[in-house]
Amino acid sequence: MAQVTLHEVSKVFGRLKALDRVSIQFEDGEFYALLGPSGSGKTTLLRMIAGFEILDSGRITIAGEPVEDKPVEKREIGMVFQNYALFPNMNVFDNVAFGLSVRGTGAAETKRRVGESLELVQLVGLDQRKPHQLSGGQKQRVALARALVTRPRVLLLDEPLGALDKALRVEMQIELKRIQRNVAITTIFVTHDQEEALTLSDRIGILNNGRLVQEGSPHEIYERPTSAFTARFLGDANLLRGTVRNGFVELADGTRLSSAMPPGAEGTPVVCAVRAEKILLESAGGEALGQGENELPARVISHIFAGSSLTYLVGWRDETLKVHVQNRGFEVIPEGAAVRLSWPTGDTVVVQP
């Protein structure tokens, strides 16, 4: 287990700047998720920590020791890939033991450590099976056992749950969290799945165009995004543009929104982010429930049924806004109906455009 530090790390492929002066500190024993759209640089960053890519500038240290010039096998890193990369001709035991055999570990010690690793991932009794005899979740566990059996200081996970179906992915999220907590290893996890990042991580770093745009706890990043990009990328957020007037955000139609934080200097153009699930939607003719200090009139465009919830698309001026409503069996508000949107002051977040 070790602290990993990246300082001003950059990487260029031809004309593409994959990473642009990225600085991150991954704390000892924490579960850190790297989240971002395709091409944001998250996998490149992981491969540079592992030693599969050479950085163009900057520094990488593990437990305070520079590793830029160290080969992959000397960095004491375990890695799990999306496709698991298991050897099809080897059984589970030999797949897990592979890293130990490369290191020349004795037979008795290998047997003991492979047994411990298989017990950790709950695969005891399957050591003689070949990969084709395993389910997707079992293959993922074998790959994880193989990464941990050498007792690395850092565990790198590159979309390890991406090949699993939704139900199995949720199950493996729980298992992955349990295993990571059990071994208390510094874990850096790359994913494009927002819910996965929120569920598993102690901290999240969001990358865009090779730059770290925000990092913090899942709750902090979700509830208080600092930019329009972060607000839209992590969860569903409605963006409303306005101008600061007398401590409020004044929209194009003159509506004034209040926010928990000071919106900025007088006359400054700003963008407000409001999460789709924070908005209360009511029929315009009904009695107001008084759920929020901010209100907008709107009209239902359509709705999307998702079982446990409904998503309404509503029109306000030229904007289309999203509202998530929990399915409690209420009558669906029809298309074209006039509605009232409201939300509390604390759910209006002023972000960078």
Query: Which tens digits make up the pLDDT trace of 30-68?
Result: 999 999 998 999 999 999 999 999 999 999 999 999 998
What percent of the chain clears pLDDT 70, i.e. is strictly above it? 97
Q: pLDDT at residue 288 above 80?
A: no
Task: Taking the CA atoms of 158, 162, 167 and 168 in sequence, report the sign of the dihedral they define.
Answer: negative
As a three-state string, the secondary structure of the chain is: CCCEEEEEEEEEECCEEEEEEEEEEECCCCEEEEECCCCCCHHHHHHHHHCCCCCCEEEEEECCEECCCCCHHHCCEEEECCCCCCCCCCCHHHHHHHHHHHCCCCHHHHHHHHHHHHHHCCCCCCCCCCHHHCCHHHHHHHHHHHHHCCCCCEEEEECCCCCCCHHHHHHHHHHHHHHHHHHCCEEEEEECCHHHHHHHCCEEEEEECCEEEEEECHHHHHHCCCEHHHHHHCCCEEEEEEEEECCEEEECCCCEECCCCCCCCCCCEEEEEEEHHHCEEEECCCCCCCCCCEEEEEEEEEEEECCCEEEEEEEECCEEEEEEEECCCCCCCCCCCEEEEEECHHHCEEEEC
**Rounded mean pLDDT of 207-218?**
96
**Rounded mean pLDDT of 276-293?**
78
What is the predicted pLDDT for the residue at 154?
A: 95
**Topology agreement, domain 4-223 and domain 236-351:** no
Q: pLDDT at residue 136 above 60?
A: yes
Task: Taking the CA atoms of 182, 183, 187 and 191 in sequence, report the sign of the dihedral they define.
Answer: negative
- 314-330: pLDDT as tens digits: 999 999 999 999 888 77
What is the predicted pLDDT for the residue at 152?
A: 93
Rounded (10°) angle between helices 92-102 and 107-120: 130
What is the predicted pLDDT for the residue at 289?
A: 56
Q: How many CB atoms lie under 10 A from the CB of residue 73?
A: 12
Q: pLDDT at residue 285 above 80?
A: no
What is the predicted pLDDT for the residue at 85?
A: 84
Higher pLDDT, 22 or 74: 22
Residues across the chain: 353
What is the predicted pLDDT for the residue at 1?
A: 57
- 144-197: pLDDT as tens digits: 999 999 999 999 999 888 777 778 888 888 888 998 998 999 999 998 888 889
Indicate the pLDDT class of residue 270, thresholds 50, 70 and 90.
very high
Tell me the average pLDDT of the chain.
91
What is the predicted pLDDT for the residue at 316?
A: 95
What is the predicted pLDDT for the residue at 8?
A: 96
Domain 4-223 has CATH 3.90.1150.10: no
Domain ranges of the chain: 4-223, 236-351
* Cα 126 to Cα 106: distance, rounded to the nearest angstrom: 22
* Cα 135 to Cα 171: distance, rounded to the nearest angstrom: 13
Q: CB within 8 A of 46, min separation 6: which ones?
A: 34, 156, 158, 188, 190
Task: Read off the pTM.
Answer: 0.90
Please return the burial class of 86, using the count of CB atoms within 10 Å of its CB with bins 0-12, 13-18 and 19+: buried
What is the predicted pLDDT for the residue at 242?
A: 93
**Rounded mean pLDDT of 108-116?**
94
* Cα 255 to Cα 243: distance, rounded to the nearest angstrom: 11
- CATH ID of 236-351, from 2.40.37.10, 2.40.50.100, 2.40.30.30, 3.30.750.210: 2.40.50.100
Residue 182, both tokens: 């059990």
